[in-house]
Amino acid sequence: MLVLLPPSEGKTSPARGLVLDLGGLSHPGLTPVREKVLDALVEVSARPDAAAVLGVGASLAEEVARNVRLRTLPTAPARRVYSGVLYAAAGLDRLTPAARRRAAESVRVVSGLWGVVTPEDAIPAYRLSMGTDLPGIGPLASAWRGPLGVELDAEADGALVVDCRSAAYLAAWHPPRSADHVTVRVLREVDGVRSVVSHHAKHTRGVLTRHLLTRRARPPRDADGLAHAASELVGETVLAVELGPPARGARTLSLVVA
């Protein structure tokens, strides 16, 4: 099982820790591209128009300025740095040792800066979205697509891929046809009418991620097994679980919430 997550926009900046060691991150084949993207981000973050180039508001100017010091900032495991709604629900930093090992083996965070990291990779807090057209690199999703294919295709070959990524991160890598690829969609039902939601989607995908990592049964091996595991969440939070037919090489797991 491979669980794909987007990074959170909200991040916790480590107060102490070792400085960044790009060569020490998982998937070392990505190191050359990571070096280029990091250099380009540091350079653009020092520009007066950095916030505009990175597509963020003026209120985040301090976070953008911090990018300039990414090579010397303290790092912490990604499970501590990513702290948005999805990660608060997934609780990757509140797992038992056994569940933490399972997360390290199966959870991958697709990132505009790192390409992909595991929850245990030591990273600093940063500000960069996969949707950015980064000067010197170009559109990040395009820049990462080939390298991520080299790194992840073998991991996904013949495996269940539980895809919780948002659209920008979906564009960076598509699992091979040999994978049992399932995208996770969250719908809200009010008075019998269903609609796609954002905040609830992040929270519910986090709940599903934690459930897959902490349940006592073996990890699901295919789409039907995933639907069965997800159905264990039906109750107060999840109203229904529906697995759609294959479409464009993937199936969709819909989680219906109130």
pLDDT, tens only, 12-44 = 999 999 999 999 999 999 999 999 999 999 999
Q: Distance (Å, rounded) from C-alpha 3 to C-alpha 111? A: 14
Of the candidates 124, 101, 105, the residue with the CA atom closest to the CA atom of residue 114:
124
Maximum Cα–Cα distance for the chain, whole Å? 53
Please calculate the CA angle 34-37-42 and round it to the nearest 5 degrees.
120
Question: What distances in angstroms separate CA 64 from CA 54, 79, 125, 162, 215, one per listed residue?
Answer: 8, 21, 10, 32, 39
> Percent of the chain at pLDDT above 90?
91
The number of domains in the chain is 1
What are the pLDDT digits (tens) for 173-208? 999 999 999 999 999 888 778 888 777 899 999 999
Instruction: Look at residue 190 in the predicted model and tell me its pLDDT.
Output: 81
Provide the whole-model pTM.
Answer: 0.95
What are the pLDDT digits (tens) for 80-97? 999 999 999 999 999 999
Instruction: Look at residue 33 in the predicted model and tell me its pLDDT.
Output: 98
Query: Is the pLDDT reported for residue 236 higher than 90?
Result: no
Question: What distances in angstroms separate CA 170 from CA 5, 16, 68, 167, 188, one per listed residue?
Answer: 10, 33, 27, 5, 22
Backbone torsion region of residue 108, taken as left when φ is above 0, otherwise alpha when ψ lies between -120 and 50, otherwise beta: beta
Instruction: Look at residue 137 in the predicted model and tell me its pLDDT.
Output: 98
Are residues 144 and 173 in contact, defined by beta-carbon separation less than 8 angstroms? Answer: yes
Per-residue pLDDT, averaged over 57-61, amounts to 90
pLDDT band, very low/low/confident/very high, at 217 (cuts 50, 70, 90): very high
**Could you give the residue ranges of the DSSP H alpha helices within the chain?**
31-45, 50-54, 61-66, 78-81, 85-90, 97-106, 140-156, 167-170, 199-214, 223-231
Domain that holds residue 147: 2-257
